[in-house]
Amino acid sequence: MAAARRGVSSYGGGSVRIKSQQQQGNAVYYTGTTSSRTGISEWVGVFAPTQAGVIGFFTGSAQGTFQRNQPIIQDIISSAHVGE
């Protein structure tokens, strides 16, 4: 997560705040926000170890639309097979 945080911060020029972290199977699920000059985004990140390192992804949307987009966000998360 530290590498992902640095990447998001350097790309967007903003700050990353992790709200929660939860282990589910071999994957770790994060929720958080990213603040940048273009606004605040809410996201979910899913990461799992592999033989070559770590694989994962973020999905989310602008603050204020995150709850409305939950069906799409949950569909993305449930259709991904991270670390299998």
Q: What whole-number distance in Å separates Cα of residue 25 and Cα of residue 5? A: 22
Q: What is the DSSP letter of 68?
A: T
Give the predicted TM-score (pTM) of the model.
Answer: 0.80
Q: Could you tell me the domains of the chain?
A: 2-79 (3.10.450)
Name 23's Cβ contacts closer than 8 Å, sequence gap at least 6: 29
Give the pLDDT score at 81.
Answer: 75
For the cut 70, the answer to whether the pLDDT of residue 83 exceeds it is no
Q: At 9, is the pLDDT very low, low, confident or very high (cuts 50, 70, 90)?
A: low
The string of pLDDT tens digits covering residues 15-73 is 888 899 999 988 899 999 988 888 898 999 999 888 888 888 989 999 999 999 999 99
At residue 61, the 3 state secondary structure works out as strand
